Structure 1
């Protein structure tokens, strides 16, 4: 059977050439990229 699940590639911020990695992901069939890492400096909040 054929799945219609999109492929999202997560790129590491430690990779030296992000453009090269992004192009390889696209060539490999990725439909989207995740290029965000931990967001520092955000104030934590709690639902009450």
Structure 2
């Protein structure tokens, strides 16, 4: 596969949750969860910390 610059890339894209409905998992349920693939800005802060 080639990336947007045309260079060859061997990595597979991250698997996407099949339950995702426009960025939400179980959107019509009592407790909808954001799809972190579609909405990475909603990831909890402790998961976003940079590792040194």
State the TM-score, normalized to the length of structure 1.
0.23
Higher normalized contact order (CA 8 Å, seq sep 6+, divided by chain length): 1
User: Under a length normalisation based on structure 2, what TM-score does the superposition of the two structures give?
Assistant: 0.22
Higher helix share: 1
